[in-house]
A and B are shown apart, each in its own frame.
Chain A
């Protein structure tokens, strides 16, 4: 059975390689910072399950200190020049797409076939995160194909991977950090307090006002939390269920479905949703990648605002009719 733990070991070894290769990169004056950062992450993947909660927490503190003092640099492993790449692209043709497209192809295969495959009474995939396991298999298959066909130096995939990972930098663990912050917020009851504020201070005596408060509240609270899943139970318990559904008679399925989608409008506008909005800015080398509202968010805001408006209208006209 291939479990999530296998994937963690795979990831841990890759990050360990990034750390070791960083240490020898004389072109990066901050190479020891990179070694420490990716090394700690490797430790988290390889040994996190065996560490105490506090030890894992101190590991995160160390990551935050390394990033906070700007001790990470940009590694510059040797790679091909622009001309070499163009020549290679001309020579190898569209076959270059095949290893890259193996990732989605195997992901699809994983979801449709492998996840349901049972060999000698044992399921092929473990119960947790089967799509990620399929993604890992797709990467392994693509790498095997690329290595056999292109015959690069043995360390080249790790060096090229390190080049891209350094380009993303500390932003690579931002989504994981924000998810952990969300967990702390839940323990401390932050969401419930915000829900109380909404329910206490807004005069919602007309159903249109209640619909607006719920939809906009979902978007706003998602903007703060970076995650509509965190906002949904709070806003729905504070406004959606008691007012829109119970007091004004809205259809709960319609109210909740559109409420969640209103939260997604908030996701499109917030730097807190790092994996959607901050990571791509780093991956695409946008110059304003560290600004609170980078180019990706600014492109998304008009669409998010319009869809939110449409969601309010849809909920108002559909929820009380069906």
Chain B
């Protein structure tokens, strides 16, 4: 049970608001050392375990480089922002009749969920879609209705824009039969002697996908009214 010490380090570090990169590395080293710990194990062995853990961490960090490749989009997004991409997104929305924050986000939610269900999970994303396009559009729609926004409202709209991308992706992608999570389930069951077809799994992702659309869609429909209330409230700037 000593290996769970690493999780304690992780939680403690997050609660103490220490830098997460340092906390993660510390949690990894504590986990590796704790796994080697047993009565009678001396300091040299524990030191070796720490070095082994750092090496294992380094190998995994190197194997997972593809995760950080997404930042390649920043030079393109940056250069377009320099020439007014966000402003253009705002202009587009301010000229569209009937575009509200809630409706824009709902439309993006549906598009994102459908494209994810067809396996196209890379069509959305925070760096390439939400920051340059969706968040400015949602903000512009709120501004068109309420004028200059209090900070609390502006940040809430942005948080909603980010959340839509996540929720639509999570509860859309499993409908596609060749997505990583479906293949993981299939592989796991196979290893336990149960054969299922990917299609059998993805079909049963549909009820939850519909539930997610209903739950979050309802929240988005109600969002416009909630924003109106928040803007009108005297403590809106809190």
Whether A associates with B in a native complex is yes
B78 adjacent to chain A (CB < 8 Å): yes
Chain A: minimal CB distance from B115 (Å): 9
Interface-located stretch among B39-47, B141-149, B201-209: B201-209
Segment 105-148 of B: residues with Cβ below 8 Å from A: 119-124, 126-133, 135
A120 adjacent to chain B (CB < 8 Å): no
Q: Are A90 and B91 in contact (CB under 8 A)?
A: yes
Given contacts A111-B119, A236-B188, A306-B215, contact A58 B58 (CB under 8 A): yes
B75 adjacent to chain A (CB < 8 Å): yes
**B57 is contacted by which of A57, A87, A161, A310 (Cβ under 8 Å)?**
A57
A267 adjacent to chain B (CB < 8 Å): yes
A94 vs B73: C-alpha distance when bound (angstroms): 20
- Which of B59, B77, B181, B208 counts the most A-chain CB atoms under 10 A from its CB? B208
A26 vs B100: C-alpha distance when bound (angstroms): 42
A108 vs B118: C-alpha distance when bound (angstroms): 11
Q: Are A68 and B83 in contact (CB under 8 A)?
A: no
B221 adjacent to chain A (CB < 8 Å): no
Q: Are A139 and B76 in contact (CB under 8 A)?
A: yes
Residues from chain B with Cβ under 8 Å of A241 in the complex: 192
Q: Are A85 and B208 in contact (CB under 8 A)?
A: no
Q: Are A283 and B79 in contact (CB under 8 A)?
A: no
A299 vs B215: C-alpha distance when bound (angstroms): 13
A237 vs B199: C-alpha distance when bound (angstroms): 22
A59 adjacent to chain B (CB < 8 Å): yes
Residues from chain B with Cβ under 8 Å of A288 in the complex: 155
**B174 is contacted by which of A188, A229, A252, A257 (Cβ under 8 Å)?**
A257
Q: Are A85 and B83 in contact (CB under 8 A)?
A: yes
Q: Are A150 and B28 in contact (CB under 8 A)?
A: no
Residue of B nearest to A97 (CB): B88
Given contacts A135-B73, A181-B27, contact A256 B201 (CB under 8 A): yes
Residues from chain B with Cβ under 8 Å of A298 in the complex: 159
Chain B: minimal CB distance from A266 (Å): 11
Q: Are A176 and B65 in contact (CB under 8 A)?
A: yes
Segment 160-215 of B: residues with Cβ below 8 Å from A: 160-163, 165-167, 170-171, 174, 180-182, 184-185, 188-189, 192, 194, 196, 200-202, 204-205, 207-208, 211-212, 215
Q: Are A89 and B72 in contact (CB under 8 A)?
A: no
A209 adjacent to chain B (CB < 8 Å): no
A142 adjacent to chain B (CB < 8 Å): yes
Q: Are A60 and B65 in contact (CB under 8 A)?
A: no
**B162 is contacted by which of A107, A136, A280 (Cβ under 8 Å)?**
A280
Chain B: minimal CB distance from A261 (Å): 5
A53 adjacent to chain B (CB < 8 Å): yes
Residues from chain A with Cβ under 8 Å of B34 in the complex: 188
Residue of A nearest to B75 (CB): A161
B67 adjacent to chain A (CB < 8 Å): yes
Using an 8 Å CB-CB cutoff, how does the interface string of B38-66 with A read, 1 for contact, 0 for none? 00000000000001011111111111111
Q: Are A86 and B87 in contact (CB under 8 A)?
A: yes
Using an 8 Å CB-CB cutoff, how does the interface string of A173-187 with B read, 1 for contact, 0 for none? 111111111111101
19 of the cross-chain contacts (CB-CB < 8 Å) are: A53-B58, A87-B84, A111-B120, A135-B72, A156-B79, A157-B76, A183-B56, A184-B6, A187-B56, A188-B3, A193-B1, A245-B194, A260-B185, A261-B205, A279-B126, A280-B165, A283-B162, A296-B162, A302-B219
Binding site for B on A (CB under 8 A): 4, 7-8, 10-11, 14-15, 41, 44-45, 48-49, 51-61, 63-65, 67-68, 70, 79-80, 84-90, 92-94, 96-97, 99-100, 103-104, 107-108, 111, 128-129, 131-132, 134-136, 139, 142-143, 146-147, 150, 152, 156-165, 168, 170-185, 187-190, 193-194, 224, 228-229, 232-233, 236-237, 241, 245, 252-254, 256-258, 260-261, 264, 267-268, 271-272, 274-281, 283-288, 290-292, 294-296, 298-300, 302-303, 306-307, 310-311, 314, 318
Binding site for A on B (CB under 8 A): 1, 3-4, 6-7, 10-11, 14-15, 17-22, 24-25, 27-28, 31-32, 34-35, 51, 53-89, 91-92, 119-124, 126-133, 135, 151, 155-156, 158-163, 165-167, 170-171, 174, 180-182, 184-185, 188-189, 192, 194, 196, 200-202, 204-205, 207-208, 211-212, 215-216, 219
Q: A61-B25, A189-B3, A224-B11 are in contact. List 4 more A-B contacts (CB 8 A).
A: A64-B21, A176-B68, A184-B57, A188-B6
